[in-house]
A and B are shown apart, each in its own frame.
Chain A
Amino acid sequence: MNYPVWQLDAFGGGLLIALIAIVHVYVSHFAVGGGLFLVLTEMKGLREGSSEILAYTHKHAKFFLLLTMVFGGMTGVGIWFTIALLSPAATSSLIHTFVFGWAMEWVFFLAEIVSLLFYYYTFDRLEPKKHLLLGWIYFGCAWMSLFLINGIIDFMLTPGSWLTDNNFWSGFFNPTFWPALFFRTFMALMIAGLFGFLTSVNIKETTVRHTLVRYCGMWLLPPLILLLGSALWYKTALPLPQQEMIFSRAPEMKPFLTLFIWLSPLIFAGGLTMAILRPQAVRKPLAWLLLLLGFLYLGSFEFIREGGRRPYIIHDYMYSTSIKKADMGQIQKTGVLASARWVKNKTITAENRMDAGKKLFTLLCMPCHSAGGPLNDILPLARRFSPTGMRSFLATMGTANPYMPPFAGTVEEQGILADYLTTRLVPGIVSNMVKISKESIKPALFDQETAEYLILASSDKGMVLSSEPEQSGIDFSFAPPTLQAQVIMRGETPSVLTNDIQVSYRIDTDQGPLLGKMIGADGTFETTLAKIPPIAKDFRPYLLAEIEAVKEGKVIATTRLKIGISNEIGCRNCHGGPWRQQGRTGLSRQTAADILAIHDKRSSTRLSQDFHAGKIVVCQNCHADSSQGAAGQPELLNLSAAMHGFHATYLYKENNSCTFCHANSAQGATGNMEDLHSTLGLECTNCHGALADHAMSLLKEKGETQKPGSARLLALLADKGEVAQDTIKGRMPWSMEPDCLTCHVGFQPPDSSTAFNTWSTGKKGLFVHRHGEEGALLCTSCHGSQHALYPADNAYSKEIGNLQPLQYQNSPYPLGADRGCAVCHTVEMEEELHHPGSLGTFRNRVE
């Protein structure tokens, strides 16, 4: 916020510092370990009276001088230049805190140069004792440089009590100072061995070469073992937040951790091979290979160490965006543009909105990301988001994305940056209004004058979401729909029939008809489809079922039923990828691949491997789904809790956050939610709670709270909901649902519009299984399916959502509404047998 940002585009994302720092660190460790190597090798030569070893030492010293003093020294200055350009605020903090630490290091640097030049240029010209003394002085000064720099570098990772006392010594001798010092010292010795291999394999005299290559092996192997010991010490000394960031919370660290772990035995084995195998054809390339492996070894460690600081550049003090932690709250209130010095337009207007977005991008994203470069490229990340998806992502930085700093700006700036990233910087996921072609569907015939029977049918879910596993490769679909039907014999006292009646269904799909019988018991015929039927190629969010009742071989009643099914699942809003079907719906394999890649990264799974091998990844195999009888793995959250719990930490807190994933966006292919309540202006959240509250209710279910994921997600959601977390009652998905009677107390018009946090109990408490007070008719038989209650307003057809009311009473209202008892009764009814108010005039009229 204080300094201008060097706009680097493709060269950003830490590329410059990575290029300069890692080579410098490698060479500078050699500058330390190699110093001791020179002295001890010279001593060996003197002790053994070997002029060859002394000659080798002299030659190695020249290589050492040219590499460490020229390249090492200059790249050291280069790091300083680079960090001051990339993070001037952090550099200023480090310089002002440790100015005399740096100054002391400069004194040792000076003494290093003098002693090394003297050491090299007086080789063979100074009596051995004095010459060795110069070597020891060099090594001592080089190690002291390491001692000093180590304190400052580790301060950035673990500032310890400096955060409270601001004392130089507290920061310098920080919690990881000593383990890091030992670690780096052993690393330096090891690297001396690696460079020793490189020069000793070129010795012409065979015996001396063998002796010195083996000798170099001794520099590599014991320090490597000690290094691993000090690495464990280092890990133990890390405070918990840094440990978690490295080992569990930042998935980006995993490749570097894996690399570090695998390289340890590889380098060890390579060192042993060098010591044992003598052919030059093996040794020479192996020496180079080991040098490269050593480079990767140290590089992976430095990446891990830097990663441990995330999202800070100085842990718990200054974020990687150069914003001090102490200033974050204020900047979030006043805004980035108003707070930052190097901003031309302090106020946002319609005209400068995208310029403001670019400025926000420069200030908040560019410190860590490149735009089109090889490191931390933001373009592919932004490309997979819709503006709203990006906005949600930005809102969860620092919490659900703990390796990124919290978004520093205002809510308005969040929206501007999201729009800039997904519409200007890259073409992100743009959701255009889908054009829907209306169709007219005729209900089945019914003659109220002559009909003896009627059949009422419903689906247990108003809308079934299908991930279409065969096409997408991933299965997290709802359970297939269960069809229900009731056959009624009309009369003064109508009967609900089961005996001697056969009910069958026929669902026409693009792949041919699905035929089946429904099983009758206790007045209800029911069948659960074996799987979700295929969605029409010319997409529409339903299939039509013909239901037929037969008695004694004669068709006595038929009806048509809409089965709501959609494959419009909004994963691509954040996971990218195209729609699979007609450019407007369907989960694509590309989107599924991203979902699984992220799952693998965050949860250490290997689902992508199965996916790319052509297998279908079934989420319910691990995450229980009681609606499908899937037991899952006991330690993992059930599918609903996992899905909502995880994503609620990311999604922007708005009522329409449900439409991110579920198919009920008015702009989407499925169209608006057709249920009467939706027509009346109610949202999903009226019954299910705001997304975070909904998620918390699932996470707080008794069985779930015992699972490790629950506490972590609940902590992240704690301040995201609209209801205090401790007052939220847990519920089991699919079997404990919002209860209609919470608002419609005593079946009366509602006084409240909030059904959240009062859950139905037991199977019979669910709307889909509940009967009227007469105990015979299912609620769904007259009112339609949940989420599709009559009068339904389906975007595709005026009739489709209300086929049975239209069939039996030529109105879209619930069966029997407006005193329409004649649907079943052949006499005028005086008593409200079904429920209080059932003889009233329907309140919510539609045009």
Chain B
Amino acid sequence: MIPAHLIPTPDALQVPWGWFQILLSITFLLHLLVMNIMLGWAIIACINHALKESSPAESQLISQKLPFTIAFAVNFGVAPLLFLQVLYGHFMYTSSVLMAVFWLSIVALLILAYYAAYIYNLQFARMPGLHTLLTTVIALFLLTIAFFFTNNMSLMVSPESWVRYFDHPNGLLLNFGDPTLLPRYLHSVFASVAVGGLALGLYHDWQRRGGNTAAAAHIPSAMNWFSYATICNFGIGTWYYGGLPTSIRSVTGAAGAFLLGFLLAGIGAAILSLIYGLQYRVRHAAGAVLGAIICMVTVRELVRRQTLAPWFSTSDLEVVPQYSPMILFLLLFAAGLYLIWWMIKLVLPADKEVQS
């Protein structure tokens, strides 16, 4: 069985693929940031409760905000998943079917984690004895979801492993044959802890700048989460890179230059963010991390393109032009962002009132 014969025929696009690639990258970046905060906070809260080392304020802060991060992580996940399906649906639907049981279980795990997060939120003061259990459940479920996502993203670009379906058509395949699977997953998990810590740091920094002097005391602990997770990630990142096929690592020409350029820039930005992190310079670290994440998101896309290059290129996709729906979407997207900004302004006084 030749894997190429298994790759489904894709459907036509309405606008050239570049539009979808831009939308995919932007919305994925948004999703990644919020998802990292969500997962990172869940892990941090879990470890804090388990080790009984947390300051109650930090855990309480996480308990208050965790449900929101889940809501927005899911919401911001919808758009990139949509645009990913437009460009790579014929790969992703296939890999999803191959690991269908795990893939569908994400929904159940997410609902349970989400409700657990609300119980943690609403019953924080009343049920201190359940904190460890709840945060363990939330963290484990979210980590499992992340593992399944990593698997799917790996499986979708591995048509050579799809033939296993013929012996296992029950949707129970994972892609353990991919040497990058584990480092890729761990890279995301440690990045989440780092970004989660950084987000806590940013919050405390914002509070401090708003006049809450007590908040400053929390910054070092938050930034330590960031820094140590980032240090670990240098090692994991190297492991990940080493696991990539030689054909990807040694790619030449413009693609190779782009890949190498963004990778080096990302590493550089990460090193910078670590330096700032160790110095507890929160906003500087955040700026550098944002740069590193943008670079790494781009590297991720380039690696995917290179991995699929023997089989497919998005430029192969047929285009049957229809621009009006996209124009309306872009206008609506802008209006939606403005509406959200307007609502934030509307409620901000009330929020301040409460804080004071």
Contact = CB atoms under 8 A, between A and B. Distances in A.
B82 A344 contact: no
Interface string A107-122: 1111101110110001
Interface stretch (A68-76, A701-709, A761-769): A68-76
A551 interface: no
B346 A130 contact: yes
B165 A168 contact: no
Interface in B157-173: 162, 165-166, 169-171
A341 B85 CA distance: 20
B311 interface: no
Interface string B320-334: 101011101100110
A92 B336 CA distance: 26
A3 B97 contact: yes
B338 to A, nearest CB: 10
B347 interface: yes
A498 to B, nearest CB: 78
Interface stretch (B11-19, B125-133, B222-230, B293-301): B11-19
Interface stretch (B110-118, B178-186, B243-251): B110-118
A108 B333 CA distance: 9
A444 B351 CA distance: 113
Given A110-B336, A111-B336, A71 B329 contact: no
A73 B169 contact: no
Interface in B71-101: 71-72, 74-76, 78-79, 82-83, 85-86, 89-90, 93-94, 96-98, 100
A103 B333 CA distance: 9
Contacts of A84: 85, 93, 96
Nearest to A16: B104
A82 B94 CA distance: 13
Contact of A92 (B85, B97, B106): B85
A133 B93 contact: no
A133 B347 CA distance: 11
B98 A4 contact: yes
A114 B340 contact: yes
Interface residues of A, number: 62
B12 A344 contact: no
Contacts of B97: 3-6, 85, 88
A107 B90 contact: no
A341 B333 CA distance: 39
A7 interface: yes
Interface in B256-282: none
B5 A341 contact: yes
Contacts of A114: 340, 343-344
B234 interface: no
A215 interface: no
Nearest to A115: B343
B93 A168 contact: no
- Tell me the interface secondary structure of chain B in the complex: helix
B354 interface: yes
A236 interface: no
Contact of A81 (B106, B322, B332, B353): B106
Contacts of B241: none
B79 A70 contact: no
A813 B306 CA distance: 86
B350 A168 contact: no
Interface stretch (A93-101, A203-211, A248-256): A93-101
* Best-buried of B9, B13, B83, B343 by chain A (most CB within 10 Å): B343
A263 B6 CA distance: 48
B310 to A, nearest CB: 17
A124 to B, nearest CB: 10
B1 interface: yes
A106 B75 contact: yes
B6 to A, nearest CB: 6
B78 A93 contact: no
A539 B8 CA distance: 58
A449 to B, nearest CB: 82
Contact of A113 (B12, B75, B333): B75
A257 interface: no
Contact of A107 (B14, B86, B336, B351): B336
Contact of A166 (B171, B320, B344, B353): B320
A95 B12 CA distance: 10
Contacts of A167: 322
Interface in A56-76: 66, 69-71, 73-75
A282 interface: no
B329 A73 contact: no
A104 B329 contact: yes
Contact of B93 (A16, A75, A88): A88
Contacts of A77: 74, 78, 107, 110
Which of B82, B324, B353, B354 is the most central at the interface, judged by chain A CB atoms within 10 Å of its CB?
B82
Contacts of B255: none
Contact of B115 (A70, A96, A106, A122): A70
A611 interface: no
B206 interface: no
A619 B72 CA distance: 65
A168 B324 contact: yes
Tell me which of B326, B332, B344 has the highest count of chain A C-beta atoms within 10 A of its own C-beta: B332
A474 to B, nearest CB: 43
A99 B78 contact: no
Interface of A: 2-8, 16, 20, 66, 69-71, 73-75, 77-78, 81-82, 84-85, 88-89, 91-93, 95-96, 98-104, 106-111, 113-115, 117-118, 122, 125-126, 130, 133-134, 137, 166-169, 341-342, 344, 362
16 contacts: A3-B93, A3-B94, A73-B75, A74-B107, A74-B111, A75-B111, A82-B104, A93-B11, A100-B329, A102-B82, A103-B23, A106-B79, A107-B336, A114-B340, A134-B346, A134-B347
Given A81-B107, A100-B325, A103-B329, 9 more contacts: A6-B97, A70-B111, A74-B110, A75-B107, A88-B89, A88-B93, A89-B8, A103-B23, A117-B71
